[in-house]
Structure 1
Amino acid sequence: MCLDADLIKGKMKEIVGEKVDNLHLEETLLTFINEKKHFSFGILAFQHYVAFSGTDFSEILVLAAGIELLILAFDIFDDIEDEDNLSKVWMQTDHAISLNAATSLYSISLQVICELESNIVFSQLALKYALNAMQGQHNDLRNFPETEEECLHMIKQKSGSLTAMSAVLGTMLASGEFNPVIENYSYKIGIIKQIENDYYGLFDKTRSDIRKKKRTLINLFLHRQFNSASNKILNMMKSKSGYYSLISDRTYFEELLYKAGVSQYVLMLIKVYENEINNEIEKLEIKIKLW
């Protein structure tokens, strides 16, 4: 049993075709789906389904596609709210149309996911994780975190809830049971993904994190001003021209991040979470390859 990006994308389009009668909305949604390149959340659900001896390929394909429809909805909401990724087709579409399309994707995805299982806990968890992700996004939008601990909690809600949904529901679809250990470590998978995303986002001038002075983990770490390199990065980030100058020479910027301790800090956090995740997987005695 194997699941790949093409199969997930094809099922996403099939679901939209079945659920949407409005031809223009359907066309818009299919265009947005075509823009999607990564399907790691659906794959994570599949990995856990297989690890817990799930055998019905059709049901896990629907779950993976449903989750990826939800992820796409959140991506569209996030880009419009943050004014990010301006080259995406939904950012070049009338934002009112894009918002309505994202709301449609959100509704379709949860309907499809909840229809998979008669177990009420399955549906309750799907809704819980979706709401938690929105609460995390709300705190991100209002730039709430003032400490690294608060930022990690926000990341757990915003990104961790979606990885938890994928792993937990994939497991439940196979076993019929909720597993708190999987929920716990899958939150950490989401935290790792967001830390990596924030780090590589430093080199992307289309991202709004710097312009909006977002309190990411890296930003909060830099503001502790451990050394002159931290101060230099912060000073250059104060202006658009200074930041563009900084990222124009990637090698120099990477060296400066290393001198500031950012690279080591990010790597340390990732390694800590990876070790915790691997230890919890070993206790479950399941075969699953995440890295």
Structure 2
Amino acid sequence: MRTTIQLIIKDILLTSGLEYDIQKLTLQLLHQSGKIFSQNKKDFTWGEFSYYVFSLLTETEVSHTTKMKQAAGIELLMLATDLFDDIIDHDNCLDTPIAKPQSLMIGNLLLVEALHLLMPNTASFKTDRFAIIHHYLRTAGNGQWLDFHLTMEHPAATEEQYFHIVQQKSCSFLQLIFELHSSTVPSPILQEIAIYIGYGAQLQNDIRDIFANHKSDLLHQKATLPLIKAVQHSNTYDHGWLLKQLQLIRSQDVATKHLTTIREYIYQTGAIDYCSILAKYYTKKAKSLLQHYFNDKSPYIKQIIHLID
């Protein structure tokens, strides 16, 4: 499956009319962890996930090639949003560093290419498919805006606010994938499945990011749930020690030892365990709904569950 999507993306890039350097950089970016050309076959990829959801929700007469092109479109769309996200968050997640102006240009071009693939390859009866894509991309953009402004210095940095933003910023992409396709299952159920998958995935990402040197969550005091819970614990039991240490990070060069101390403290508060349990809970709810409503399509269910696990 992954190899076929890779071949389609290569063909799309070669015939896209994009400059050779843009094609080359795009392929380099798609070789990173979590992308369709990644060497780690266990990685979640948006292209594969999209293909199996498409197969789950469409009838058998939809061609294999159509599903693959749609999956390729989703893969390019998510790469574009990842580029924008890294710029906004001041992260450096690229194996091959790219200047911000280049990232912006490539992101915009890939967004256009993704729409060019998605529009003709989504089910023909979905005459409002552009409206669906527009709605969820706009919702995700609004969520990203709120996420950028929500730090631990903000009075609204609560667990409830965190999930409100995650539903907008992260779950919208999953909802887009489910909404684009037909199904006998009511749309609210599909939206619920998408939200649970999104919650579980975002929690796992936020846990990893706390301990990743290339991420800036601690530096910018981003109000992710692990940090929210750890700060609440610190305010209750340690006179706000953690928030004071986070503020020191912003006022001086970050020492590795200092970051290690902060990360160990966050772990000891139980915030990581709390978020890990929540992530498993939401992923389990998503799997339960998938198995209940699609028990007649178990091969696709198994593949989707494998990816979200």
TM bucket normalised to smaller:
0.7 to 0.9
Range 75-84 or range 12-21, more displaced: 12-21
Residues 169-223 of structure 1: per-residue CA shift (max 9 Å, x gap):
3x43xx5987331122112211111110111111112211111111111222122
Amino acid of the residue matched to residue 153 of structure 1?
Answer: H
Distance of aligned partners of 1:258 and 1:53 in 2 relative to their CA distance in 1, 3 Å threshold: same
Partner of 2:226: 218
Amino acid of the residue matched to residue 139 of structure 2?
Answer: N
Matched residue SS, 2:98: coil
Partner of 1:71: 78
Q: Counterparts of 2:212 and 2:242 in 1: how far apart (Å)?
A: 15
Q: Does 1:11 align with 2:8?
A: yes
Q: Does 1:95 align with 2:96?
A: no
Residues 157 and 228 in structure 2, CA contact (< 8 A), matched pair in contact too? yes
Q: Does 1:245 align with 2:239?
A: no
Partner of 2:158: 147
Partner of 1:62: 69
Residues 42 and 166 in structure 1, CA contact (< 8 A), matched pair in contact too? no
Q: Counterparts of 1:186 and 1:112 in 2: how far apart (Å)?
A: 22
> What is the identity percentage for the equivalent residue pairs of Structure 1 and Structure 2?
24
Q: Does 1:195 align with 2:203?
A: yes
Distance of aligned partners of 1:223 and 1:9 in 2 relative to their CA distance in 1, 3 Å threshold: same
Q: Counterparts of 2:266 and 2:233 in 1: how far apart (Å)?
A: 12
Q: Decide which of 150, 170, 185 is 1:159's aligned counterpart.
A: 170
Q: Counterparts of 1:64 and 1:26 in 2: how far apart (Å)?
A: 18
Residues 210-249 of structure 1: per-residue CA shift (max 9 Å, x gap):
1111111122212222654795554544444777325548
Q: Trace 1:243-282 onto structure 2 (pairs within 5 A).
A: 244-245=256-257, 248=260, 253=264, 256-282=265-291
Amino acid of the residue matched to residue 197 of structure 2?
Answer: I
Aligned residues: 280
Residues 226 and 272 in structure 2, CA contact (< 8 A), matched pair in contact too? no
Amino acid of the residue matched to residue 49 of structure 1?
Answer: F
Q: Counterparts of 2:284 and 2:169 in 1: how far apart (Å)?
A: 22
Matched residue SS, 1:209: coil
Q: Does 1:207 align with 2:215?
A: yes
Residues 91 and 215 in structure 2, CA contact (< 8 A), matched pair in contact too? yes
Range 117-126 or range 145-154, more displaced: 117-126
Q: Counterparts of 2:245 and 2:254 in 1: how far apart (Å)?
A: 5
Residues 48-75 of structure 1: per-residue CA shift (max 9 Å, x gap):
2333465421111111110010110011
Distance of aligned partners of 1:165 and 1:229 in 2 relative to their CA distance in 1, 3 Å threshold: farther
Q: Counterparts of 1:41 and 1:267 in 2: how far apart (Å)?
A: 22
Amino acid of the residue matched to residue 124 of structure 1?
Answer: A
For residue 142 of structure 1, report the CA deviation from its aligned partner.
1.9
Gaps of 5+ in 2: none
For residue 137 of structure 1, report the CA deviation from its aligned partner.
1.0
- TM-score, normalised via structure 2 length: 0.79
Amino acid of the residue matched to residue 289 of structure 2?
Answer: E
Q: Counterparts of 2:146 and 2:178 in 1: how far apart (Å)?
A: 24
Distance of aligned partners of 1:246 and 1:230 in 2 relative to their CA distance in 1, 3 Å threshold: farther
